[in-house]
Structures are given as C-alpha cells and as structure tokens.
Amino acid sequence: MPRLPPALLRQAHSISPQLHALLPACRDLQSARSELRWIREHALSSSSGAGQPSNRHGNAAVARLVARRARGEPLQYVLGSQPFGALDLRCRPGVLIPRPETEAYVVHLASLLLRARKALGAAAADGRPLRVVDVCTGSGCIALLLYQLLHRGFPGAGSLRVLGLDVAPEAVALARENLERNVRRGALPATALEGGDVRFAQADLFSDGEWNSAVGQRGGEIAGVDVLVSNPPYISTQGFDRDTGRSVRNFEPRLALVPGAGLSQGTACAPEDVFYARLLKVSRVLRPRVMLFEVGDMEQARRVAQMATGLEQSEQWHVEIWRDDPDLDGNDGLREEVLNGRRIPVRGSGHGRSVFVHRVPELVT
Amino acid sequence: MFATQWVCRRCTLALTRSPIRPARPAHATKPLRRPLQRPLQQLQLARYAGTDSSNGAAAASNLPPALLQRARGMAAEHAELQAALADSFDPKAAKRLGELSRVATALAEWEAAQSSIAELVSMLSSPDSEADPELRALAHDELASTHAQVETLSTALSASLTPRDPFAELPCLVEIRPGPGGQEGRYFADAVFKMYRAYCARVGLRVNVVKYETLDGPEAQGGAGNEVPIAEAVLEIMDTGAYDMFRGEAGMHRVQRVPSTEAKGRTHTSAVAVWVLPSFPETLSTEMENDFNDPSSDFYIDPKEVRSEKMRAGGAGGQHVNKTESAIRLTHVPTGTVVSIQDSRSQHRNREDAWKLLRSRVAEQRREAREEAAASLRNTVLSRERITRGDKIRTYNYQQDRCTDHRSGVDVHNLPNVLEGGEMLDRLMASAKDWLVARDIRALVAEEEAKAAEAESGGKNGKKGRK
C-alpha cells in the first residue's frame, strides 16, 4: 500500500485531528471528510434518542468511533448499518457487508422481472407463487431488496415468496433481524414477516439433505423455484492475499469470501468457481427459470458463462454477462463475448460482475 | 404632543398633511367619501415612505379599469364553464375552472363590497334617513369599515389576476453558492445556509440537506462563529408551497464585514448567490406524475438525454473492497447541466437526489428562458425590474448591524436575529414577497394598458385603412 504523502497528512491535521486519524484508513481527503461527517451524524442521531446529551458526551462517542475506523475496521461495522436500496441493513462482524455493485444488479434484475411480470406470473395464475431463492444470503440483502422491489408487481400475500439460505447461523440471525427491522421501519410491507413471504433458513448448499429440506419437498417432489440468485464466496486464495482491501481481509469473514479448500476436491473446476458448479448442478433439480450469480471479474464471468452454456437443453438457455452497472453504457466497445461458439452479450459498464442465465423469452432484450 | 421622542421628517409631513378627521358632516353626502378615503391613503404613504410609492396597496386602492375589465371577462368565462361542466365533465375545462375560480371569488367579494357602498350611500342620501339620526350614525360606521374592506379586496383581486407561478405549490430546493470574492464569500455562504436552515426549524418546515460540499480549509476559523468554507450547499424544503415562500430569496446576497482572516481590519464586500428551484414532493400526486411523463412539461427529462456516471474505486470491486462512497454524476446533454452527488452513504439516495436536482435545475432554466422571451415581448416595466441572478437583492452589513432588502427598501437592524432565521428575517422575506406581488400587478397593468392602446390604435388604423 503506497505511503500517504506527509503534506496530505499535515493538511488533514490542520482541518481536524480526527480527519488525520481517518486518513490512513480512507486513503483520501474527500472520503475521510465524508466518513467523519457520517460518524458525527451517527453519534448525534444515536445519542439524541436519550434526551439531550452534553456536548462532551457526544464528542467522546465520536472519538471512540473514529478510533475504531482508524484501526481499519469497516465503517459499516463501526456504524452498524449500511443502506441498501431503500432498505437499511444492520451489519455485524462475522457477516459480509452488502456491496453497492450487488445493489446495482439486484435493482436491474428486479426491473427486468417486473417487465416480464406477465410471463413469470403465468405460473402464478394457478395459485402458485413466484418463488425466489437466494443462496449464501449473508445479511439477507439480495432477498430483502428483491422482495421490496418486486412485491408491488406481485400483489397479495403469498404470491411472491423469497427464501434466503446461508450456512452460517450468525448470518441467518442477522438476516432475520434485518427483515424485522425493515418491516418495523416501513421499508418492507408487513406481509413479508407475518405472511411468511420472506423466510431465512440455515442450510449448507453442499449437503443435499440440508438444502432439500430447506427448499421444501412435497410428497417426494421438489417444489419448483423460479428465480435462483446467489452471491457466493468467489475469491481465490491468492486473490484474497493480493487483491482484497485491508479492511476486508482483516475484518470480514473469510467464509463469505473464499470457498473452503475441501469443497473443490473431486471437481474439475478452479477452487474459486466451485460454488457456481454446485449451483448449476442444484439447478437441475430445482429447475429455476432465471438465475443470477455474482462473480469477481470478467475472467470469472467468462468461466461461469461457459459452464452455463453446458446446461442441459442449452438452446433454451440465454446467457448474459453483466458488468458493475448493467444499466449504464460502458462506451468501450465491449458488447459481447463468444464462448463455445455462442454469442454472450455483455451489458453495462465497469468490471464483470454477474452472470445472468434464464429461459424466459420475454426477458430477452 | 407625541408619545414618541421623535418622528422622522417624512412621517411628520405625512401626518400633518392629513387633516384630522372631521366630525361627521350632518349635511351633504357627496363630499363624504373624500375625507374618509384621504387620510387612509396618506397614512399608507407614510407607511411606505421608504419605498417607491406605487407599492402594492397604494397601486391597488384605485383599481385600474383595464384590470377590472379583465377580471369581469374571466368571471364571465368562469360562469360559462361552470354551466358547461354541470352537463358533462371535461377534465380540461375543470382545470381551467379551478384557475379561474380564484379571480371569480375575488371579483364577487369586491363587487359585493362595492354594491354595499352604493346601498349605504343611497341610504344616507334618502330623505328618510334625515329623520333617523341613529340609523345615520350606523350607516356612517358601516361605510367606513366597508371602504377599508374594499382596499384589501381590490389588492386581493389584482393579485389574483397576476399569472400564478406554475411552481408555487411545490416544495423547493435552495441552492447556495459563493460568488466571486474569495474565501470570505465561501464562509458567508455557510452563514446563509445556516440562516435558512434555522429559519425552517423555527417556522416548522421540514428540511433535508441534499448537498453540503465543503472546501479544504480549516474548520471554525474564518468568518463569524462556526463557519466552514463551502463550495455548494443545497437545502431541500419539503413542505408544499415552499417555493412560493422562498422565491423572493433568489438573487445575490451581499455581505459587508471584516473577515476574521483580515489582519488590518478592512471591511470586505463579497457575495453569495442563492437560487431557488422548484422540487418534487416525495409522493407524487397523479397530476404531477402526469407532468413528470409529459414531454411538454418543464420537469420532463428524456432519460436518453442524460449521461450518468459512477465514481468507481480502483481495484477489482465487488467482495474485494468495501468502499463507503458512492458518487454519481448526471449530465443533461442538451443543456450541459451537470449534477454530482455523493453526500449520502446510500447509493440509492444519492441517485434520487441527483435526479431531483437535475430535474429542478433544468425546469428552472426552461422557465427562465420562457420568461425571458415573454419579458422581451412586453414593455420595459417588467424587464427593468426583473431579478436576475446577477443583481444584488440584499445586503448584510455587520458593522452597522443592519440588513437591507434592496428591492422593497426595507431596513432591519439586529443582524444576529436575521442570521439566526428569526422574526427579522420573516420581515425581510415578507417585504420581498410583497414587492414581488406589486411588481406582478404593475406588469399586468402595463400589459393590459398596452393591449388597450394597441386595440385603440388598431381600430383607428383600421378606419384609416378603410378610407
């Protein structure tokens, strides 16, 4: 990590010593300034609940938070929350912090699904709901935001059901907490909680028994799934040491970032791609119509897209690669990839971020 | 003689000129109107001695016939529409009816007052009343109060005739930017920002800080109090009708003071630009929603014409990093308007705020362009007095503890109270609003007169042409 120029540190100190303290963690003055402001606002709003505290008390609270952030702890853990779409999600050590890129593709996916609502809702006409499963849900961000964005298009309790699965019990607990918190704040409708429209369960994707019982079998036949979404761990061991940010490496759970070493034994794919291979295998049983998986970069996106082209009845499946912002034009001429002799459209701008696989003709744009 | 220690010369003049109201004349009803009306007018002159005499109330006390004619025409249309709507509903006609009803009710009230005056006068002049002194006294009292009522009613009537600002009902965005003048202007921009925020807190308006961009510089060092040099601040006032309340605040605010950074104690003059833009409430009414998607509306922006960019952290992104900032920049290509927002931790909020600001700025630009065109068509009355962003509208002088509104000519002392958004700011804002209404009325009168003159000369020309 490059050293910060002493002039910059001096400048920060002349503005405020707290800014100077934040600078090594934030790396530039602009973001240090913003973070200091958010920390101050947070200290102000959390203390104002208990009457008017003395100024000194507020200052001490700010100083404590600044000290934690200065040690490199992610701001989201320091403040205990992260806005995600219209939701406000709690963040705790041990569970991955929701990323803005995730927000971008979830919003884009939701707008596509709403546009193709009629085609997707055809199944719902016979009383069957649109079923969404989010594997490796973590804080519950994808599951909750998808429900928030889609519930207007699928009105009535029980016509949209979202299930979030995670192997870590602390993640499942946090996701449930986030569900209750956002229902209480009015960001999510009450049906999400009371109607059981959104549920979270602990299940290991690699254990057939666990996810089968979590997704729910009826009379030996697995109830279908319409949309399968996942933001699984996808960083390689070398990538974890080399490419990740310091606050990510030191404070976020490795379990959510790097696939376990034991999982790739006996498979042909790279260790960081093992979750995608497993998800595609599971999809043969669940038979989803739409799948979206987050990936680390364009390289990985190509590998996952290639795997997806190998699905059964591959001519039915449309595969796309989405970049960081699927709805903004990249203006760099990267429009498609050719894999296995098939044209794979590449949408948006930024890094390769997710792979979108579906067999709904109405979703083709 | 007076309870006060001293009275300024103009007030003394005004007071001495007005005759002490004579005892009610027991005879001759004809001159009765004058002594009642004159002191009122003159007192008003005394009140507005500091400003130009053609101010709102004074100008409206004798309603120009051109305006009256226009009001009658509109009221007739109102009645017609009402009759038509009773038979079949037409949304367009209903909308027009709503616009006209303001004029129609104001005119009806004014006419009612006029007719009651006529009735009272005739009652006084009738021979029966001679016989009953008690009734006479009652009628006199009634007449005096009705005259006073007519004053306010005719102001209301002329105000209702002025074109209603299309954005008046909307919430607004107040944008504050330092003008030329170096660091001092930036510090004062913060003072202005805090003034409006405090004002809203006192009056009970809901606000939201959309943007508060500080410049690199020591905190709480320059300026008075805890001022921070700011590059741009945007305050959203979320209550409906806020645009109407704040539209008089747009313009250059000048400050004269000794900056704390000034070593030699010289007074500096710098300026801060305040722009007031219409904004959309969070929950759109259906009518506004239509506006939103209607290409002819000021607020319509074709999404294809907007280029949006996001600031990305270097490196791989995704799970690899957790950045906290999500800046977004929108560029409206046809007008070259650029908005960038990064104030919130929420990407979603930043995006919404950026769109809101862009929409408001483009709408204001379009309206200004339209008004510019309209103003150049009209005669000079309006164009001369139009506030443009370049004109100073108010001066804050710290040494003299004074704040002056240059348009209404109102001076208030107790500058700290103004900067705290106190009652003194209320007075300044009210005076600016009165001035705006008076200006609109004058423009309207000028327009009507020009129209009448044109019609007359056109008629003459026509006759000549026929010859």
Question: Which 3 state secondary structure label does DSSP give B117?
Answer: helix
Alpha helices in chain A (DSSP H): 6-15, 17-26, 29-48, 55-70, 75-79, 100-115, 117-121, 141-150, 169-184, 208-215, 237-242, 246-251, 274-286, 298-309
Residue B247 lies in a domain: yes
- The pair phi, psi for residue B110, each rounded to 5°, is -65, -45
Task: Check whether residue A16 and residue A125 sit in a common domain.
Answer: no
Residue B2 lies in a domain: no
Q: Has residue B389 got a pLDDT over 50?
A: no
Residues A293-335: tens digit of each pLDDT? 999 999 999 999 999 998 888 888 999 999 998 888 767 777 8
Contact (CB, 8 A) for A299 and A236: no
* Cβ-Cβ contacts under 8 Å, A33 against chain B: 214
Q: Has residue A257 got a pLDDT over 90?
A: yes
* Cβ-Cβ contacts under 8 Å, B214 against chain A: 33
Model confidence band, residue B126 (pLDDT cutoffs 50, 70, 90): confident
- Helix (H) or strand (E) holding B291, with range, is helix B286-293
Q: Which residue of A has its CA nearest to B324?
A: A75
CA–CA gap between residue A127 and residue A158 (Å, rounded): 9
Boundaries of domain holding B407: 172-311+325-432
Q: Which residue of B has its CA nearest to A31?
A: B325
Number of domains in chain A: 2
Would you state the structure tokens that stand for residue B77, as one six-digit string? 């249309």
Model confidence band, residue A176 (pLDDT cutoffs 50, 70, 90): very high
Query: What secondary structure does DSSP assign to B208-224, as a single string?
Result: EEEEEEEPSS-TT-STT
Would you state the structure tokens that stand for residue A81, as one six-digit string? 């929350």
Hey, which bits of B118-196 come out as E strands?
172-178
Of B11-20, B127-136, B160-169, B438-447, which gets the smallest average pLDDT? B11-20
Residue A30 lies in a domain: yes
B441-467: average pLDDT? 67
Contact (CB, 8 A) for B306 and B329: no
Q: Pick the residue of A18, A22, A44, A75 with the most B CBs within 10 A to test the interface with B by mutation.
A: A75
Beta partners for residue A90, in sequence order: A81
Please indicate whether, in this complex, the C-beta atoms of A247 and B322 are within 8 angstroms of each other: yes
Task: Confirm or reject contact between B308 and chain A (CB < 8 A).
Answer: yes
Model confidence band, residue B32 (pLDDT cutoffs 50, 70, 90): very low
Task: Confirm or reject contact between B312 and chain A (CB < 8 A).
Answer: yes
Please indicate whether, in this complex, the C-beta atoms of B318 and A247 are within 8 angstroms of each other: no
* Cβ-Cβ contacts under 8 Å, B315 against chain A: 243, 245
Boundaries of domain holding A291: 100-363
Model confidence band, residue A91 (pLDDT cutoffs 50, 70, 90): very high
Please indicate whether, in this complex, the C-beta atoms of A296 and B216 are within 8 angstroms of each other: no
Q: Which residue of A has its CA nearest to B228?
A: A15
Contact (CB, 8 A) for B301 and B358: yes
Other beta carbons within 10 Å of B29: 14
Task: Check whether residue B286 and residue B427 sit in a common domain.
Answer: yes
Residue B420 lies in a domain: yes
State in Å, rounded, how far the first CA of chain A is from the last one.
43
* Cβ-Cβ contacts under 8 Å, A235 against chain B: 319-320
Sequence-distant (6+) residues with CB within 8 A of A152 are none
B375-387: average pLDDT? 46
Residue B317 lies in a domain: no
Other beta carbons within 10 Å of B413: 11
Task: Check whether residue A177 and residue A110 sit in a common domain.
Answer: yes
Among candidate residues B273, B265, B195, B179, the one with its CA nearest the CA of residue B227? B195
Q: What's the alpha-carbon Rg for chain B, to the nearest Å? A: 28
Task: Check whether residue A55 and residue A114 sit in a common domain.
Answer: no
* ipTM rounded to 2 decimals: 0.91
CA B326, chain centre distance (Å): 37
Residue B439 lies in a domain: no
Residue A11 lies in a domain: yes
Task: Check whether residue B267 and residue B122 sit in a common domain.
Answer: no
Q: Pick the residue of A38, A44, A321 with the most B CBs within 10 A to test the interface with B by mutation.
A: A38
| Predicted local confidence at residue A235, as pLDDT | 95
Dihedral sign, Cα of residue B13, residue B18, residue B21, residue B27: positive
Give the number of A-B residue pairs with CB atoms closer than 8 Å: 100
| Predicted local confidence at residue B133, as pLDDT | 78
Number of domains in chain B: 2
Among candidate residues B152, B142, B122, B125, the one with its CA nearest the CA of residue B40? B152
| Predicted local confidence at residue B23, as pLDDT | 47
Please indicate whether, in this complex, the C-beta atoms of A245 and B315 are within 8 angstroms of each other: yes
CATH of the domain at A201: 3.40.50.150
Residue B448 lies in a domain: no
**The domain boundary residue, chosen from A53, A71, A89:** A71
Task: Check whether residue A273 and residue A148 sit in a common domain.
Answer: yes
Hey, which bits of B282-336 come out as E strands?
306-310, 328-332
Please indicate whether, in this complex, the C-beta atoms of B319 and A256 are within 8 angstroms of each other: yes
Residues B45-65: tens digit of each pLDDT? 333 333 343 433 333 346 777
